[in-house]
Amino acid sequence: MDASIIERLKKEIESFSDSKEATEVGVVRTVGDGIVEIEGLEGAMMAEMISFDESSTADVKSAISKDGALYGVILNLEEDSVKAIVLGDSSRITEGMLVKRTKRLLSIPVGDAIVGRIVDSIGEPIDGKGAIKTDKTMPIERVAYGVMDRAPVNTPMHTGTKAIDSLNPLGRGQRELIIGDRGTGKTTVAIDAILNQLNESKENRPICIYVAIGQKESKTARIATLLQERGAMEYSIIVSAPASAPAAFQFLAPFGGVSIAEYFMEKGKDVLIIYDDLSKQAVAYRQLSLLLRRPPGREAYPGDIFYLHSRLLERAAKLSKEKGGGSITALPIIETQDGDVSAYIPTNVISITDGQLFLEADLFNKGTRPAINVGISVSRVGSAAQTKAMKKVSGRIKLDLAQFRELEAFMQFSQDLDADTKKRIDGGRRLSALLNQKKNAPAPFERQVVAIYAVTNGFFDAYSAEKISDVEEKFLAFLDREAKGVLEAIKTEKAISEKTEADLKSAIQSFVSSLG
pLDDT digits (tens, 9 = 90+) for 3-31: 665 565 555 555 544 433 334 899 999 99
pLDDT at 290 over 60: yes
Nearest-angstrom CA–CA distance, 441 and 205: 18
Question: Is there a contact between 177 and 334 (Cβ–Cβ < 8 Å)?
Answer: yes
Mean pLDDT score of the chain: 89
Nearest-angstrom CA–CA distance, 300 and 198: 43
Q: Which pTM does this prediction carry? A: 0.91
Q: What percentage of the chain reaches a pLDDT higher than 70?
A: 91
Pseudo-torsion of CA 418, 421, 427, 430, nearest 10°? -80
pLDDT at 453 over 90: yes
Q: What is the mean pLDDT of residues 54-60?
A: 50
The tens digit of pLDDT for each residue in 370-389 reads: 999 987 899 988 778 899 99
Give kind and range of the element (H or E) at residue 431: helix 419-435
pLDDT at 67: 44
Give kind and range of the element (H or E) at residue 210: strand 207-213
Q: How many CB atoms lie within 10 A of CB 179?
A: 25
pLDDT at 18: 45
Nearest-angstrom CA–CA distance, 285 and 301: 8
Omega of the bond leading into 67 within 30 degrees of 0 (cis): no
pLDDT at 105 over 80: yes
pLDDT at 171: 95
The tens digit of pLDDT for each residue in 409-427 reads: 777 665 667 777 788 888 8
pLDDT at 467: 92
Nearest-angstrom CA–CA distance, 187 and 219: 10
pLDDT at 382: 72
Question: Is there a contact between 70 and 84 (Cβ–Cβ < 8 Å)?
Answer: no
SS3 for 241? Answer: strand
Give kind and range of the element (H or E) at residue 505: helix 498-515
The type of residue at 419 is A
Candidates 380, 405, 424, 429; catalytic one: 380
Bridge-based pairing of strands 270-276 and 207-213 is parallel
pLDDT at 470 over 80: yes
Q: What is the mean pLDDT of residues 49-73?
A: 61
pLDDT at 15: 53
Residue 380 appears among annotated catalytic residues: yes
**Rounded to a whole number, what is the distance in angstroms from the first to the last CA of the chain?**
89
pLDDT at 11: 59
pLDDT at 49 over 80: yes
Question: Is there a contact between 64 and 45 (Cβ–Cβ < 8 Å)?
Answer: no
pLDDT at 318: 97
pLDDT at 8: 57
pLDDT at 22: 37
The tens digit of pLDDT for each residue in 477-504 reads: 999 999 889 999 999 999 999 999 999 9
The tens digit of pLDDT for each residue in 149-184 reads: 999 999 999 999 999 999 999 999 999 999 999 999
pLDDT at 401: 82
